[in-house]
DNA sequence: CTCTCCCGCCAGAAG
DNA sequence: CTTCTGGCGGGAGAG
């Protein structure tokens, strides 16, 4: 049977012109969101039903659902069943992610060499009772660690826990030790959620993403506004990346992208480091005679706070990602046979 | 050419 | 066992 619902554009005037855009995850996600929002909060979403309504195979729904769950709009209830929490749930979830990310940064993990790995190595699970050093505690699935949901959450932390305004997927991939391909999926879903926005980098012209506030609900949310009262203490998005007129530099992350060892050596002045993490807006304070100390790698912080205008800069710091790029965690296929076996038993 | 990223195989997990 | 989940990367469309 044909799908009952299709794209609102419905430019199916000619079936010959097939375009990938019509099948993109972002568009599918938008339709999925519309479907969920129509049902109202706390409604149960069935994967089969959703797949049928959207006219896609089940597999694609899993992708969307996992990413959406990372920011709290959806929650898994049971097999095949998800609960729609509404857009108001995003602020809570994202705020929590920010706290977790900040905590991860302050915690000097022994296994992680830099901040990138701190986020990447973060296991926000299996810390239940009897935490300690049970034999083979990490025997649990590392599969979950590489899940889209975890990756999506770490992607959010990248935006919230650093002062980088613009992040390219390439950089995010190396930071999070993930494949770029996966981040495309996540980014597309987040774009449809209005969490991030794709723009062209002022210097490179390459596409980068920037965190934005979910300023508007697609439907003004009569239903969504039902319990939106608890939302928020404030617009946390405004704290950092939302309205920051600061410079939008891709790689200004050098402040916290230090090796763990380096940070260890300079514990004397480490307080400033971690303090700056929490108060990244310190640059507006620098204008009052900033000659007391210098931020080691963060020298040029006193550059004019001109907005995102064509700020041409060609500084390409990637010292923090070369370490991460060294890793090759996955790949269990030892055999060179890349051919897939069609015929299975 | 590079950048995007859809498709769906198939390995685990759940039932 | 069957069914559900979803990691994973080939390879094709878009720019």
Instruction: Give the pLDDT score at A102.
Output: 87
C1' of C5 to CA of A297 (Å)? 45
Nucleotide nearest to A345 (CA to C1'): B10
Confidence of residue A107 (pLDDT cuts 50, 70, 90): low
Report the b/e string of A163-200 with b at 16+ CB within 10 A: bbbbbbbebbbbbbbbeeebbebbbbbbbbbbbbeeee
Q: In whole angstroms, what is the distance from residue A4 CA to residue A33 CA?
A: 16
User: From the C1' of C3, which residue's alpha carbon is nearest?
Assistant: A79
Q: What is the rounded CA–CA span in Å between residue A36 and residue A225?
A: 14
A206 is near strand C: CB distance < 7 Å: no
Pairing type for strands A207-211 and A196-200 reads: antiparallel
Look at residue A309 in the predicted model and tell me its pLDDT: 31
Q: What percent of chain A has pLDDT over 70?
A: 47
Distance between CA A140 and CA A100 in Å, rounded? 21
Closest nucleotide to A18's CA, by C1' atom?
C13
Q: What is the pLDDT of residue A119?
A: 54
Cα A95 from Cα A240, distance rounded (Å): 12
Look at A326 and A125; give whichever has higher pLDDT: A125
pTM as predicted: 0.62
Predicted confidence (pLDDT) per residue in A146-160, tens digit: 899 999 999 999 999
Average pLDDT, integer, range A243-271: 35
Query: In 3D, which of A70, A74, A114 has the Cα closest to residue A94?
Result: A70
Q: What is the mean pLDDT of residues A6-23?
A: 60
pLDDT of residue A283: 34
């Amino acid at each position: 049977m044909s799908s009952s619902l299709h794209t609102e554009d419905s430019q199916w005037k000619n079936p010959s012109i097939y375009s990938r855009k019509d099948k993109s995850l972002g568009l599918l996600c938008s339709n999925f969101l519309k479907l969920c929002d129509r049902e109202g909060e706390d409604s149960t979403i069935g994967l089969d039903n959703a797949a049928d309504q959207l006219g896609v195979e089940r597999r694609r729904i899993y992708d969307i659902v996992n990413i959406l769950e990372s920011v709290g709009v959806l929650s898994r209830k049971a097999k095949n069943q998800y609960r729609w929490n509404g857009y108001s749930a995003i602020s809570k979830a994202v705020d929590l992610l920010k706290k977790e990310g900040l905590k991860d940064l302050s915690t000097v993990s022994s296994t992680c060499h830099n901040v990138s790995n701190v986020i990447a190595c973060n296991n926000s699970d299996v810390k239940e009772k009897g935490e300690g050093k049970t034999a083979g505690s990490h025997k649990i699935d590392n599969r979950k660690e590489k899940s889209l949901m975890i990756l999506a959450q770490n992607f959010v932390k990248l935006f919230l826990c650093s002062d980088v305004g613009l992040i390219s997927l390439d950089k995010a991939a190396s930071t999070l030790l993930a494949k770029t391909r996966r981040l495309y999926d996540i980014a597309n879903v987040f774009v449809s959620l209005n969490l991030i926005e794709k723009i062209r980098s002022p210097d490179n012209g390459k596409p980068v993403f920037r965190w934005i506030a979910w300023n508007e609900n697609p439907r003004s949310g009569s239903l969504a506004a039902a319990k939106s009262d608890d939302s928020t203490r404030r617009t946390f998005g405004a704290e950092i990346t939302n309205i920051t007129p600061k410079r939008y530099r891709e790689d200004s992350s050098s402040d916290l992208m230090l090796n763990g060892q380096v940070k260890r050596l300079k514990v004397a002045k480490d307080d400033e480091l971690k303090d700056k993490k929490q108060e990244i807006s310190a640059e507006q304070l620098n204008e009052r005679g900033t000659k007391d100390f210098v931020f080691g790698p963060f020298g040029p912080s006193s550059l004019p706070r001109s907005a995102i205008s064509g700020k041409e800069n060609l500084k390409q710091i990637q010292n923090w990602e070369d370490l991460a790029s060294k890793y090759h965690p996955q790949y269990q296929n030892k055999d060179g046979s890349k051919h897939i076996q069609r015929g299975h038993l």
